[in-house]
Structure 1
Amino acid sequence: MPQPDDDPKKPSIPDDSPVRPARFVHGSIMRHVVTMAGTGAIGLMAVFAVDLLNYGYISHLHDKTLTAAIAFATAVSYVQVSVSIGMTIGLGACTGRLIGARQHAEARRMASAFLVVMVAIAAVLGLVTATFAMPLLGLLGAHGEAQQHAATFLHIVSPALPLVCLGMALSSLLRAVGDAKRSMRVTLTGAVVSACLDPVMIFGLHLGLEGAAISTVLARLAIAASGFLNLRGHAMLEWPERSAFGPSTRLIGGIAVPAIATNLATPTGALFVTHAMARFGLNAVSGQATIDRIVPVAFSLVFALTGSVGPIMAQNLGARQIHRVQEALLAALKLTALCVGVTWLILAATHSYIIQLFELQGVGVDIVRLFCCWLVLSYMFVGLLFVANTAFNNLGHPFYSTGFNWGRATLGTIPFVWFGSAYGPVGILVGQSLGVVLFGSLAVVTAFRVIRKLEPGIVKP
């Protein structure tokens, strides 16, 4: 098979790894996408379902300051996790290309060194967030007991950010080598630990929100441990070489930095929405928080596509099979449309039960009802944007995804939400939904243009 870099001056890297050959460069693309996204969705759905259940536990403590605190703390946590996701995108894209080009030893060398860099960055970010939790929450509009509760949650959870970052990175390596089942096990481990500990910590030990935070830390520890256990046998880790830190940071960072910038756009837009909702009281914030937890569960398949289609595209790009790259994009879009349609029917039929389950009141009821019955359809365009971003990150155009995501978070959010806020919290949601339609459509059109312009050898690992 041809190599992605034919430069005779470049020293060849011996392929002495026992890792299995690239599995995505042959066989049915749709089967690969369904398998990868399906297993990824199961893991994500479990994690987010536990988060949703955890929010339900807190809501049954009958203290609106606690449910609002969860909303504020989560808004800040999304920023932290977005940085971690951006780094794992870079890690997965680069290792996937190298594996597709049959350079497994180099993929192992780069991944092992960059893992250390990732953990160090996550540690600094987690400590900074914990230190400045109160002023950060104040910027979101949190005050009083809600602000204090949210700060306590962040003080406990934020220092454990390196654990979840490490677990996500190891899971990304499993996807890069095509081991979807073990990647799923990593996320399922955290979900199971959290599901078992949440009720014990919150109700059994009467720790309330602090108990939920402690459970989160222990779940993150379990995810990291599971990542190491499941990656055994793939020979994707070694003791990092000092000489590899610079090259791996430059190579993977070239994708990771714009990917981080891309991923920061979504929580930044969400921070603006949370701040706008805070003006209308705790019921509005609680309603928005409920939606924020329904969405990841309901659209786990769509979110899983972003991490699952990437390795498929990357391996086929490394093998110079451009037509299969386009097939992967089309398959992802078809699955997105199917997922959104089915989810709309389910949420529209069950919205009354959701409102009762989370004991929503006042305007919070109106917010959730509107979302479940109508605005859920806007996530078709969110899916288009996410899938297009995956294509950009894995095909050598990461700054395209940065531009589209920040366009959505600024031009597609701020003016729409600002205008909609004149009509109350419902107007804020409608404005947010309208903004994503424009940028999701433009992003997917651009993704197809990028693929059509690809020529073998343009993008090198």
Structure 2
Amino acid sequence: MAGTGTIGLMAVFLVDLLNFTYISWLHRPELTAAIGFAGALGYLQIAVSIGMTIGLGAAVGRQIGARQHDAVRLTASSFLIVMTLVSLALGCLTAVFSTPLLALIGARGETLRQAAGFLHVVSPALPLVALGMGFSALMRTSGDARRSMNVTLAGAMMSACLDPVMIFGLHLDLMGAAISTVISRALTMMLGYRGLRPHDMLRWPGWTDIPRHARPVGVVAGPAILTNLATPVAGAYVTNAMARFGTDAVAGQATVERIVPVMFAFVFALTGSVGPIMSQNLGAGLIGRTRQVLRVSLWMVAGCVGLAWIILALGQSAVIAVFAVHGVGIAIVRLFCNWTVASYLFVGMLFVANSAFNNLGHPLYSTWFNWGRATLGTIPFVALGLHYGPLGVMIGQAAGVSVFGLAAVAVAFRVVGQLGPGPHVSSVPIDVPARTPEGALMEMQEQDDD
């Protein structure tokens, strides 16, 4: 599950990185900084979409584990409608208020104008992202990891082909990148819907049924949205701190933020993959498997971070040359490649723990830990680092996350240790016969034999 997810995410992040590279080749620092500022608000939108997707996967995963297919169809269809309405409202509001929001986090002059123009095009199309994520999550929850990967790859390839045409061929610069982004997201959404159809997970619910069947998802999605908002809020605070040291500092930070998703795509894919596995085994009453997933995931995170550290330490000069980083931005990139990259071990710990909380019935725990990291783990540390320049800001951010990553993992093991035997299924309006853990295991073995 994590392997196919990594390939899909790697493609998306590589295209995003390539897009950022194209903009940097225009040798206009205000455009590079504009990407950073627009990304800070864009991450807020994506965080809401991810939160809704987490809730959808957790609720549907338990129902699949308990063989409640009718409930799966009603729950998935109802919440996809809710996702569409919520993301449409959020995207339009972001487009309308983009200029004051960007100014609030430090964008000025031409950088502000370019970033606002980018968001005016991309933000109203947020439902395309939300639905694409929802369809992909449902495919992965059904175990169809390969088809989910192919959908993501197709969207990434479309963007990779369109970016140079729009940016250089048509001379649209940042606006070309925005148009390419919308087209690729539309393709991903359409292919996602087509890929989900063979699983028979969708049906049109009655309008009065939508609130009732969407409620089990909302129980997890609400806290998950709050959880995911914490990261971009903390990122916006760090961007504001970096803006005090000029556009080169913001561009250096933006470079790091584009490198991170590529180097740690496996970590992000892993934390998205373990959720359905945990929730299905929880729904089937197989608690031992749930504990095993948590342990193995942490070892895999450690291995990924170690490998990324080696690659970045050896290739830092190439990174600086490719992205045309200047001034203090060079020092920021070198610090990340040599030292602060290690802090992503604790970021990975936090993500794995959050996935466990969201899928094991404790979504508020992930909210508390993520907002703790975004406030107590960011503001005082970064404020202290400000006295030592932009490098101090990065070091402060890295120090804060280590505390909360370790604490979250400790609590996650405690939560898993307290799980009792028997199936754990979210409340749904479909009656199904109760099953013992032994019965669930026998059914799984029979399927394997088939």
- TM-score under structure 2 length normalisation: 0.94
Look up the match of 2:368.
403
Counterparts of 1:262-277 in structure 2, within 5 Å, are 262-277=227-242
Mapped contact 1:110–1:244 kept (Cα < 8 A): no
Question: Is 1:426–2:404 an aligned residue pair?
Answer: no
Counterparts of 1:308-457 in structure 2, within 5 Å, are 308-457=273-422
1:58 counterpart letter in structure 2? I
Counterparts of 1:48-59 in structure 2, within 5 Å, are 48-59=13-24
1:326 counterpart letter in structure 2? R
Look up the match of 1:94.
59
Mapped contact 1:109–1:241 kept (Cα < 8 A): no
1:161 counterpart letter in structure 2? L
Mapped contact 2:286–2:422 kept (Cα < 8 A): no
Query: Which range is displaced more, 367-376 or 233-242?
Result: 233-242
Residue number among 157, 160, 182 corresponding to 1:195 in the alignment: 160
Look up the match of 1:176.
141
Query: Which range is displaced more, 232-241 or 407-416?
Result: 232-241
Q: Using a 3 Å threshold, how does the CA distance of structure 1 residues 313 and 81 change in structure 2: closer, same or farther?
A: same
Mapped contact 2:6–2:265 kept (Cα < 8 A): yes
Q: Distance in 2 between matches of 1:226 and 1:342?
A: 33
Mapped contact 1:286–1:360 kept (Cα < 8 A): yes
1:100 counterpart letter in structure 2? G
2:400 counterpart letter in structure 1? G
Give CA deviations for 1:95-120 in whole Å, capped at 9, x if unaligned: 00000001111111110011001000
Give CA deviations for 1:371-417 in whole Å, capped at 9, x if unaligned: 01111111000000000000000000000000000000000000000
The CA deviation at 1:332 is 0.9
Counterparts of 1:113-124 in structure 2, within 5 Å, are 113-124=78-89
Look up the match of 2:151.
186
The CA deviation at 1:186 is 1.9
Structure 2 residues without counterparts, runs of 5 or longer: 427-450
Q: Distance in 2 between matches of 1:248 and 1:306?
A: 26
Look up the match of 1:298.
263
Look up the match of 2:117.
152
Question: Is 1:81–2:43 an aligned residue pair?
Answer: no
Mapped contact 2:156–2:184 kept (Cα < 8 A): yes
Q: Distance in 1 between matches of 2:209 and 2:279?
A: 22
2:148 counterpart letter in structure 1? S
Give CA deviations for 1:223-279 in whole Å, capped at 9, x if unaligned: 101101111211111112324311222210000000000000000000000000000
Residue number among 101, 126, 132 corresponding to 1:167 in the alignment: 132
Mapped contact 1:268–1:409 kept (Cα < 8 A): yes
Q: Distance in 1 between matches of 2:365 and 2:284?
A: 23
Look up the match of 1:72.
37
Q: Using a 3 Å threshold, how does the CA distance of structure 1 residues 149 and 126 change in structure 2: closer, same or farther?
A: same
The CA deviation at 1:457 is 4.6
Mapped contact 1:286–1:364 kept (Cα < 8 A): yes
Structure 1 residues without counterparts, runs of 5 or longer: 1-35
Query: What is the RMSD computed on CA atoms of the aligned residues?
Result: 0.8
Question: Is 1:205–2:170 an aligned residue pair?
Answer: yes
1:157 counterpart letter in structure 2? V
Give CA deviations for 1:162-215 in whole Å, capped at 9, x if unaligned: 001000000000111111101111211211110000000000011000000000
Q: Distance in 2 between matches of 1:46 and 1:142?
A: 29
Look up the match of 2:100.
135
Q: Distance in 1 between matches of 2:201 and 2:390?
A: 48
Q: Distance in 2 between matches of 1:379 and 1:248?
A: 37
Give CA deviations for 1:277-307 in whole Å, capped at 9, x if unaligned: 0000000000000000000000000001121
Q: Distance in 2 between matches of 1:307 and 1:82?
A: 13
Q: Distance in 2 between matches of 1:457 and 1:129?
A: 45
Q: Distance in 2 between matches of 1:450 and 1:82?
A: 25
Mapped contact 1:112–1:239 kept (Cα < 8 A): yes
Q: Distance in 2 between matches of 1:413 and 1:379?
A: 15
The CA deviation at 1:331 is 1.4
Partner SS for 1:242: coil
Mapped contact 2:163–2:180 kept (Cα < 8 A): yes
Identical amino acids, percent of aligned pairs: 62
Counterparts of 1:235-314 in structure 2, within 5 Å, are 235-314=200-279
Question: Is 1:215–2:171 an aligned residue pair?
Answer: no
Q: Distance in 2 between matches of 1:319 and 1:459?
A: 7
Q: Distance in 1 between matches of 2:100 and 2:422?
A: 49
Mapped contact 1:114–1:245 kept (Cα < 8 A): yes
Mapped contact 1:114–1:249 kept (Cα < 8 A): yes
Partner SS for 1:400: helix
Q: Distance in 1 between matches of 2:421 and 2:140?
A: 24
Partner SS for 1:40: helix
The CA deviation at 1:67 is 0.3
Partner SS for 1:232: helix
Give CA deviations for 1:21-46 in whole Å, capped at 9, x if unaligned: xxxxxxxxxxxxxxx01100110010
Q: Distance in 2 between matches of 1:243 and 1:368?
A: 53
Mapped contact 2:285–2:423 kept (Cα < 8 A): no
The CA deviation at 1:449 is 0.3
- TM-score under structure 1 length normalisation: 0.92
Mapped contact 1:198–1:212 kept (Cα < 8 A): yes
Mapped contact 2:48–2:225 kept (Cα < 8 A): yes
Q: Distance in 2 between matches of 1:182 and 1:301?
A: 18
Q: How many residues align?
A: 426
Look up the match of 1:224.
189
